[in-house]
């Protein structure tokens, strides 16, 4: 099950969630969730706030107990084990550095607790400090460090024990934009180098898309979609997934707007990304320009058709005024169809309609 890491150290372990639920009073924070996180991969739990992603992570960590279902790490059922026995590391949103201990003591805290010999501790501390650029800061207290440095100390504490699983709960949300970008790259590189299994919680789709091998999209405690970032963008399973990924979000329109093209769509919803719509004199979608937003490289046009407003993103500068009637077209593969009753993706309908456009 273990994937050997590049430098020969033991790699990550697979994490399995089977029908896990967590209930707070009458509110279902996590509802019958099943996820598989393959060994040695980087999985991001993504979703709006209150979707249950942090609760899910804390259940994996053992900081919350699951009310139903099973959690397996590396094939071992850990559902009822305390956090200390799950053999994992975690980075908290607030970093949770011990304020009365200096950087070195913070990093080796876990090794000391587990009675690792002093020489071994020192050697590992040196390695981790070098890796994270903390060597000059080892005798400082956390309050004397900048946010980015504190973040590195938290990372150091997580990786020094070389645990097979590392959990991160929105670790970058307290950093400024530039630092966040650097840390994104760094965390991803670290995970690849050390080979552990990463579960990473964020509400930021950019972090999810840029870092993840697998994105697990949650909404209201339920799984919307679990797939790699490309598939999430290209083949969203539900209208929620479609609108959560991509800026500006995908237009999800009543199928009746494309009834001229395919009468069968009328009962369903169609999804078209703003960037896949283009001006086409004989395009299937007739609309009126409601407003324009010029962004330099491209422009955003709010259009109105059949009482619905949707967004079109056109590259470059176009000479269009508000109130103009336009026609829009799209490539057959850019059409997404979602079932009118179940809300699920209907590739058969999309393919049929796509064939008409092509034909």
Partner 1 sequence: MTTATGRTRVPMLIRSREWVHAWLLLLPALFFLFAFTHVPAVMTLWNSFHSTPRGRRPARFIGLDNYERMMGDPIFWKVLGNNLWFAFGTIPLSIGIAIVMALWVNDRLAGRGFVRMAYFTPTVLPLIAVANIWLFFYTPGFGLIDQVGSALFGWPQTNWLGDPSTALNAVIVVTVWKEAGFFMIFYLAALQAIPPSLVEAAKIEGAGRWTIFWRITFPLMMPTTLFVSINAVINSFRLVDHIFILTNGGPDNASSLLLFHIYETAFKYWETGYGATLTVAMLAILCALAIGQFFFFDRRVHYK
Stretch that binds partner 1, among 58-66, 192-200, 210-218, 347-355 (CB under 8 A): 58-66
- How crowded is the C-beta side of 238, counted as CA atoms within 13 Å? 15
113 interacts with partner 1 by CB under 8 A = yes
Stretch that binds partner 1, among 19-27, 76-84, 122-130, 347-355 (CB under 8 A): 76-84
The alpha carbon of 167 is separated from its chain's Cα centroid by a whole number of angstroms, namely 13
Contact (Cβ atoms closer than 8 angstroms) between residue 45 and residue 57: yes
The minimum distance between CB 182 and partner 1, in angstroms, equals 24
84 interacts with partner 1 by CB under 8 A = yes
61 interacts with partner 1 by CB under 8 A = yes
**Which one, 85 or 325, has the nearer CB to partner 1?**
85
The minimum distance between CB 109 and partner 1, in angstroms, equals 5
Determine the Cα–Cα distance for residues 74 and 196; give it in Å rounded to an integer.
12
318 interacts with partner 1 by CB under 8 A = no
Stretch that binds partner 1, among 29-37, 61-69, 219-227, 340-348 (CB under 8 A): 61-69
Phi/psi at 265 (nearest 5 deg)? Answer: -80, -15
**Which one, 167 or 253, has the nearer CB to partner 1?**
167
Contact residue for partner 1 among 75, 143, 282, 341 (CB under 8 A):
143
The minimum distance between CB 15 and partner 1, in angstroms, equals 15
Determine the Cα–Cα distance for residues 162 and 177; give it in Å rounded to an integer.
29
Given the structure tokens 């993840």, which residue do they identify?
212
Distances (CA, A) of 9 to 4, 18, 25, 40, 272: 7, 29, 44, 12, 46
Tokens encoding 146? 């900048």
Number of residues in contact with partner 1 under rule CB under 8 A: 24
Which is nearest to 349 in space by CA: 254, 241, 262, 236? 262
157 interacts with partner 1 by CB under 8 A = yes
**169: β partners:** 201
Binding residues (CB under 8 A) for partner 1: these are 61-63, 82-85, 88-90, 92-94, 96, 98-100, 109-110, 113-114, 143, 157, 161
């Amino acid at each position: 099950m273990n994937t050997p890491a590049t430098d020969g150290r033991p790699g990550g372990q697979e994490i399995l969630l089977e029908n896990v639920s967590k209930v707070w009073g009458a509110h279902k924070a996590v509802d019958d969730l099943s996820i598989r996180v393959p060994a040695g991969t980087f999985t991001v739990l993504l979703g709006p706030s209150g979707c249950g992603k942090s609760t899910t992570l804390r259940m994996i960590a053992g900081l919350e107990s699951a009310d139903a279902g099973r959690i397996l790490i590396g094939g071992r059922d850990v559902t009822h084990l305390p956090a200390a026995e799950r053999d994992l590391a975690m980075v908290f949103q607030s970093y949770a550095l011990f304020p009365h201990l200096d950087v070195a003591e913070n990093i080796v805290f876990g090794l000391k607790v587990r009675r690792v010999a002093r020489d071994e501790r020192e050697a590992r501390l040196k390695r981790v400090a070098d890796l994270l650029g903390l060597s000059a800061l080892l005798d400082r207290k956390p309050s004397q460090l900048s946010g980015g440095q504190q973040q590195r100390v938290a990372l150091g504490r997580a990786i020094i024990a070389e645990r097979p699983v590392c959990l991160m709960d929105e670790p970058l949300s307290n950093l400024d934009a530039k630092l966040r970008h650097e840390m994104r790259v760094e965390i991803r590189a670290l995970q690849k180098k050390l080979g552990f299994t990463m579960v990473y919680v964020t509400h930021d789709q950019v972090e999810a898309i840029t870092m993840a091998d697998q994105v697990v999209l949650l909404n209201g405690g339920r799984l919307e979609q679990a797939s790699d970032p490309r598939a999430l963008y290209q083949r969203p399973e539900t209208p929620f997934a479609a609108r959560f990924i991509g800026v500006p979000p995908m237009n999800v329109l009543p199928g009746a707007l494309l009834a001229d093209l395919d009468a069968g769509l009328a009962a369903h919803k169609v999804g078209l990304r703003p960037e896949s719509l283009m001006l086409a004199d004989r395009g299937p979608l007739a609309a009126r320009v409601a407003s324009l937003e010029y962004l330099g490289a491209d422009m955003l046009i709010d259009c109105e058709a059949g009482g619905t407003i949707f967004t079109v993103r056109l590259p470059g500068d176009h000479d269009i005024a508000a109130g103009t009637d336009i026609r829009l077209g799209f490539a057959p593969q850019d059409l997404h169809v979602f079932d009118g009753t179940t809300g699920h993706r209907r590739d058969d309908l999309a393919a049929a309609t796509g064939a008409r456009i092509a034909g």
